[in-house]
Structure 1
Amino acid sequence: MSTLVKAPKNGSLAKTNSGSLTGTFPTWSSWIDDLFNNDLPSIFRPNFNTGLSLPMVNIIELDDAYHVEMAVPGMKKSDFHIEIDNQVLSISSEIENNEETNEDNYTRREFGYASFKRSFSLPETVEEDKIKANYVDGILKLELPKKEEAKRQPPRKINIS
């Protein structure tokens, strides 16, 4: 599971359990990412297709909100399932494609299936009731507004008495 925090230099957004007594363990999501990105010999990577594809995500923190952008071209708005459960934002999709062609002397049938699910732990500063999402030109964008008390305040001058 990933967390909406500043990403370390290695690009990973996965949160580890660094505060626990049992040590630091990778999260399930980061372990899967590592398995498919690092543990396979390079000769398998270009041709290895598991049907599991994790879209790339950009997370931007502004003074008043977080913006999440996910590149998922070729989909429709109705293909996405976005939900929040116990401060966890999940974005998922399942697409099934079946095509059959009947000609005089042959039948061609092709089918495909693709799915993904990305989950992020939301900070307590996000106003869950005001999250908005839109999908334009292959980019899914979510705006996660911050609670008023979490918004960055402009500097104020303090007078000396």
Structure 2
Amino acid sequence: MTLVRWNPWQEMNTLQRQINNLFADEMLPSTLLERSLTKVPAAELHESEEAIHLKLELPGIEAKDLDVQVTEKAVYISGERKSETKTEGKGVTKSEFHYGKFQRLIPLPTRIQNTNVTADYKDGILTLTLPKAEEEKKKVVKLNLESIG
């Protein structure tokens, strides 16, 4: 009988290689790949004393193709990046661009005045300034430290 040393990491490497092969571009039909990897816009949220500043990265999308809805507690954005098909000759085109519809719901950390929101859309960046509700600006929480101990 031969004694073989077991290496658990080797099995993990094999599993990772098999999963990578499963999701290789050549193995999946393009329609399945497009449906499963829906691209949502990246967001950046900054909170100051007076407002919440939200920036969304939306390159290649025109303002008319966006729908932005703001409630007191969340921002909902949806839109569509339309593909431009060109038939200028023969050849193969491989694209990593993501086309199609997207939607994203971003919950806000505090209530805002959704009637006073300002927006700016420039160079594919949507910037929303969401002023906080008056009661949120004045909100102070007193901690009871007597119960700790």
Q: TM-score range by the shorter chain?
A: 0.5 to 0.7
> Closer, same or farther in 2 for the Cα pair 1:126/1:86, shift >3 Å?
closer
Give the equivalent residue in structure 2 for 1:136.
Answer: 122
Q: Does 1:53 align with 2:3?
A: no
SS in 2 for 1:128: coil
How many corresponding residue pairs?
111
The alignment-based identity, stated in percent, is: 27
8 Å Cα contact 1:125-1:147 kept in structure 2: yes
Find the partner of 2:75 among 66, 79, 89: 89
Output the TM-score relative to the length of structure 1.
0.53
Q: How does 1:12-161 map to 2 (within 5 A)?
A: 41-42=19-20, 47=25, 49-50=33-34, 52-84=38-70, 87-101=73-87, 113-122=99-108, 125-151=111-137
The structure richer in helix per residue is: 2
Q: Which has the larger radius of gyration?
A: 2
Structure 2 gap ranges (5+): 1-18, 91-97, 140-149
State the superposition RMSD in angstroms: 3.7
Higher share in strand: 1
TM-score normalised by the chain length of structure 2: 0.57
Structure 1, residues 92-127: CA drift from partner, whole Å, max 9, x if none? 111333535377xx8xxxxx8422111023456210
* Cα distance between partner residues in 2 of 1:46 and 1:65: 44
**In the alignment, residue 60 of structure 2 is paired with which amino acid?**
G
